Structure 1
Amino acid sequence: MDVRQLSFRLLQVFVHVARTRNISATARMLHLTQPTVSMQLKKLRDAVGEPLFHYHDGEMVLTDVGSELQLAARDVLGRFDDFDLFLGRLRGGSAGHINIGIVTTAKYVLPRILGPFYRQFPKITVTLSIGNRAHIMDRFARQDDDLYVFSHPPTGTTVQANRILKNPLQIIAPLDHWAAGRAGLAFSEIRDERFLIREPGSATRMMFDAWLTGHGVELTDTMQIESNEAIRLSTASGLGLALISAHTLQEGRDEVKVLPVEGFPLESNWYLVSRKDRRLPHAAMQLIEFIADNLADCVDPALVAPDIAKLAGHYTADAGAPG
């Protein structure tokens, strides 16, 4: 490869196309014309000497060479972003931008962290992308974000995942449900009730399915709803019982009753996740260090992971850099 043919602009265009898989979208984002973006990609392909994309079912997909170039390009651009931040800090304080992908239940907690963080670092901006686990898993695979919050994180050698918060899952019922006043309850007594459940792939659904399978229980009446808010409201309205995060329950105004079912709440956790093969920007490291030092002041201390103080030690701004 003739590196003399490369430029920052070429790498920027490539990284945007690699993320969006769409030339038109990249052109709009970078205020370029589509022919200009296509020409830049061709110039980069010629410099590398290998195809960077191929088409599958009409969608642009990175080749193996393209995937490696994406890592290298992000590392190069990220280092100069950090240099720019270094200059900014010299001229008046921390600055930068963080992209964070979070599962839907975490949207009730992360703002409590980001508010105090912003007051301490007002020049650091954050873009939040919120979706169900499958959506955030896709973003993780595409390396769309710097950090992620999962309750059931991905696995593999490229994954850095550390528990930050407890996320107990409780069974709730309408206030007028026959079991609402009970002091103790076996699951067998409510197994034939209608349960409002999340979609397959949801971490809450995965936890519930695992518990049911482990106890040899099969629900006889279920209704799938792809929204925690809708499940909470539907339960309050008498549509059925549900398993829901305690954090989701705290944020709602709908009146429901937590049932004292034996074996519940299910113990779940939220994890802060990054990719080991992608270098973290300085701003993301600032947020990680803030969480390690201040999480107990932002949320209920009883829900904070006991080893939170060691969080920052698991991450490094040199992740993904050659060793």
Structure 2
Amino acid sequence: MDARQLSFRLLQVFRQVAQSGNITAASRLLHLTQPTVSLQLKKLSEIIGEPLFDYQQQKLQLTAAGELLYQAVLDIDERISEFNLQLHQQRSGSAGSLSLAVVNTAQYLLPQLLADFANQYPQVVINLHIGNRAHILSRFEQQQDHLYLFSHPPRGEYVQATPVVKNPLYLVAPKGHWASKQPQLNFSQLSAERFLLREPGSATRMTFDSWLSSQATELKQSMQMESNEAIRLSVNAGLGLALLSAHTLQGQQHLLSVLQVKGFPLSSHWYLVQHANKRLPQAAARLSAFISQQLAGWQDPLAQAPSS
């Protein structure tokens, strides 16, 4: 048998005749003439190399080869039906795969969002990449992912950045620190303190450095660390003060003291970013809309938190 000579139309005619039991009924359902259907069956039988029907008591009966072909046709129909469903799901964004790259700090923001999204769209596969800002910027430049989450998005004509939620940055101290007992502080009162900072190039560090420059202020003591988790734990241990995102502190504020300092929290945002040259599949577009919708009503839990 030369399978290259088969066509969906031939198989459709065969299936209808097999199910109808006679050519006349099949012709009506297919909107074809009886001679045309008979010629189609003859051609198919020649391709297969075996007779497909026997005439028994004025009714067509499948031969052994016909039975095998009929089962194959049903399998093909089922696979095509599954393909149509999967294609519809992919086009609608309810199935498929996507790649999401986020900076380290976003690990405090995303888990619940991704869990909720996965529960709603279990057939969407998300490949998640987490790294420092330099690493995620490199992935963006190489167009390795569909979506990116930055608190300080890159610049350029190929950047499409949409703010999705505020990212206020608070000054925090160890529990019981003298500054935590002050209802209102000026930053100059903290000049003798050691500050724990993220590495140069991180969004939090850039925001803090920009604010210090605008105030013509320099830190007298500082220590650099490469993760917010290390900074948070070090503040808790009494190593120094730090500037941390409200999202990093959410659920952990009872372990630290949020300081009431004039000019703080510093204003910042999280941005969903995509490369203008990277096609966005429907699954990624759905995730983007889901994140924006879920974060639209976010309230800063520290906004009215009293200092301790």
Q: Same fold by TM (over 0.5)?
A: yes
Range moving further from structure 2, 232-241 or 111-120: 111-120
Q: How many percent of aligned residue pairs carry the same amino acid? A: 54
Written as runs of structure 1 = structure 2, the 5 A alignment for 1:101-140 is 101-140=101-140
1-structure distance, mates of 2:93, 2:203: 39
Cα deviation digits, residues 215-251 of structure 1 (max 9, x gap): 0001110000111011011111110000011111114
Residue 177 of structure 2 corresponds to residue 182 of structure 1: no
2-structure distance, mates of 1:235, 1:290: 34
User: Do the aligned residues in 1 keep the contact of 2:165 with 2:298 (CA within 8 Å)?
Assistant: no
Structure 2 runs not aligned, ≥5 long: 1-82, 304-308
Structure 1 residue 90: Cα displacement:
8.5
Structure 1 residue 138: Cα displacement:
0.7
Sort the Cα spacing of 1:90 and 1:116 in 2 relative to 1 into closer, same or farther, 3 A: closer
User: Do the aligned residues in 1 keep the contact of 2:105 with 2:228 (CA within 8 Å)?
Assistant: yes
1-structure distance, mates of 2:232, 2:91: 49
Sort the Cα spacing of 1:93 and 1:173 in 2 relative to 1 into closer, same or farther, 3 A: closer
Cα deviation digits, residues 233-288 of structure 1 (max 9, x gap): 11111100000111111143771101101000000100000011111011101112
2-structure distance, mates of 1:302, 1:198: 21
1-structure distance, mates of 2:284, 2:125: 10
Structure 1 residue 180: Cα displacement:
1.0
User: Do the aligned residues in 2 keep the contact of 1:198 with 1:227 (CA within 8 Å)?
Assistant: yes
User: Counterpart of 1:229 in structure 2: which amino acid?
Assistant: E
Please give the TM-score of this superposition, normalised by the length of structure 2: 0.67
Sort the Cα spacing of 1:85 and 1:132 in 2 relative to 1 into closer, same or farther, 3 A: farther
Sort the Cα spacing of 1:302 and 1:97 in 2 relative to 1 into closer, same or farther, 3 A: farther
Sort the Cα spacing of 1:85 and 1:156 in 2 relative to 1 into closer, same or farther, 3 A: farther
User: Do the aligned residues in 1 keep the contact of 2:90 with 2:282 (CA within 8 Å)?
Assistant: no
Runs (4+) of structure 1 exceeding 6 A deviation are 90-93, 297-303
1-structure distance, mates of 2:134, 2:85: 33
Aligned to 2:286: 286
Aligned to 1:99: 99
Sort the Cα spacing of 1:166 and 1:84 in 2 relative to 1 into closer, same or farther, 3 A: farther
Residue 249 of structure 2 corresponds to residue 245 of structure 1: no
Structure 1 runs not aligned, ≥5 long: 1-82, 304-323
Structure 1 residue 128: Cα displacement:
1.0
Structure 1 residue 289: Cα displacement:
2.4
Sort the Cα spacing of 1:91 and 1:213 in 2 relative to 1 into closer, same or farther, 3 A: closer
Structure 1 residue 293: Cα displacement:
3.5
Structure 1 residue 104: Cα displacement:
1.0
1-structure distance, mates of 2:222, 2:126: 38
Structure 1 residue 131: Cα displacement:
1.0
2-structure distance, mates of 1:256, 1:91: 47
Cα deviation digits, residues 63-121 of structure 1 (max 9, x gap): xxxxxxxxxxxxxxxxxxxx988625289982111100101111111122111111111
Aligned to 1:157: 157
Residue 254 of structure 2 corresponds to residue 260 of structure 1: no
Aligned to 2:32: none
Q: Greater Rg, structure 1 or structure 2? A: 2
User: Do the aligned residues in 2 keep the contact of 1:85 with 1:94 (CA within 8 Å)?
Assistant: no
Structure 1 residue 191: Cα displacement:
1.6
User: Do the aligned residues in 2 keep the contact of 1:191 with 1:220 (CA within 8 Å)?
Assistant: yes
Aligned to 2:232: 232
Structure 1 residue 296: Cα displacement:
4.3
User: Counterpart of 1:172 in structure 2: which amino acid?
Assistant: V
User: Do the aligned residues in 2 keep the contact of 1:108 with 1:251 (CA within 8 Å)?
Assistant: no
Sort the Cα spacing of 1:298 and 1:194 in 2 relative to 1 into closer, same or farther, 3 A: closer
User: Do the aligned residues in 2 keep the contact of 1:184 with 1:260 (CA within 8 Å)?
Assistant: yes
Aligned to 1:218: 218
1-structure distance, mates of 2:109, 2:91: 33
2-structure distance, mates of 1:301, 1:194: 26
SS of residue matched to 1:211: helix
Structure 1 residue 295: Cα displacement:
3.2
